[in-house]
Amino acid sequence: MTAAAAATPSVRHERAGAEPVGFGDLVAARVAARTSQLVLGLDPDPARLWPRAIELTDKRMDASTSRAERAARAIAIHCGLAIEAAGEQCVAVKLQVACFERLGSPGWGALGEVAARAREAGLLVIADAKRGDIDVSAAAYAQAFFGETATEYGPVPGLGADAMTLNPLLGLDSLRPFVDAARERGGGVFVLVRTSNPGARDLQELPLRRGGTISEALATMVHQLGADGVGEAGLSDVGAVVGATAPQHLQTLRELMPGAVFLLPGVGAQGGRIEDLGAAFAPGPAGGLIAASRAVVQAHERSGGDPGAAAAREAARLRELAWRLAA
């Protein structure tokens, strides 16, 4: 498949005989249908791919292929294999855009291919891009990930993601173009509220003079921004990124954002434990989406054996843990 074809947005949010649903209802429906809250995080390192991906890449290459093109093919195949192995256990993929972007133009082609592959497997596509910019540039990023760009030669489609992560430092007017573009096509956004890294403390946990922390101020912003986007399941199309590594904040953040879907990264390699994430599921089983990246895709490095089988096993284990917790 070409990158251009892969990037063409589908009409997958339309259901026969019904209007497109909002993102909150879409997530609720998919979580219920797949009995999973697990998100397969794909952050491919082209120096650490599954051996099978390298075999398949070598076969498809000829001498004229550049290094970047070769590496981009390899990461696309690697991600495809991971989706094949573990996708059935998951409700979505989370694509770490940095890992594609570092291969330049062919890397962006691979991003489109992997998004298309995930969609074919029935998975929602979350672009973990952490973008944020002033209004006109935010609108350009929204075109890149959700919409299309008007050009002299006709519209050029973007990635066609279902959702993307956003950095809210620039304030409400920097988030609105993304929310508008997402809402228009039944997609959603996940705004960084409390990230999973140790440095999250440097800024996000600083107390404000008016009371509460910066994270809590962000949570209030998320709740306001999402108020118009709450669906029948009680979930909004404006969600929040809340690191699984700091579960002590979950309860407070849930109270501030009762209708937000929480995207919870940091399980596994970063030290987060699913067992600690119960508060995320207060609004129901779709209240939290648990992202596991290295924990699943590199499971064979701990368990030994075939990477695909190890990924499938670990994904099944995490899915089961989460489902029991949310029940």
Residues tagged active-site: 130
CA distance 194 to 214: 9
Residues near 211 by beta carbon (within 8 Å), at least 6 away in sequence: none
Map residues 43-82 to x or -, x wherever contact with a second copy holds by CB under 8 A. x--xx-x----x--x--------xxx-xx--x--------
Residue type, 175: L
The residue count for the chain: 327
Map residues 273-312 to x or -, x wherever contact with a second copy holds by CB under 8 A. ----------------------------------------
Query: In the bound complex, what is the minimum distance in angstroms from residue 318's beta carbon to a second copy?
Result: 20
The number of beta carbons lying within 10 Å of the beta carbon of residue 299 is 26
Map residues 179-198 to x or -, x wherever contact with a second copy holds by CB under 8 A. -------------x--xxxx
CA distance 97 to 293: 13
Side-chain-side CA neighbours of 14 within 13 Å: the count stands at 5
Binding span for a second copy by CB under 8 A among 85-93, 210-218, 277-285, 304-312 = 210-218
CA distance 264 to 262: 6
Residues 240-279 that bind a second copy (CB under 8 A): 270
Three-state DSSP class for 120?
A: helix
CA distance 246 to 193: 12
Binding span for a second copy by CB under 8 A among 9-17, 82-90, 95-103, 312-320 = 95-103
Residues 103-142 that bind a second copy (CB under 8 A): 103-109, 112, 128, 130-138, 140-141
Map residues 220-239 to x or -, x wherever contact with a second copy holds by CB under 8 A. -x------------------
> Among 33, 172, 227, 309, which residue interacts with a second copy (rule: CB under 8 A)?
172
CA distance 37 to 126: 13
Bridge partners of 230, per DSSP, are: 236
Query: In the bound complex, what is the minimum distance in angstroms from residue 205's beta carbon to a second copy?
Result: 9
CA distance 85 to 72: 20
Tokens standing for residue 296: 């699943």
Tokens standing for residue 24: 């909150």
> Among 85, 163, 217, 233, which residue interacts with a second copy (rule: CB under 8 A)?
217
Query: In the bound complex, what is the minimum distance in angstroms from residue 214's beta carbon to a second copy?
Result: 7
Considering beta carbons, is residue 22 or 239 the nearer one to a second copy? 239
> Among 17, 59, 210, 327, which residue interacts with a second copy (rule: CB under 8 A)?
210
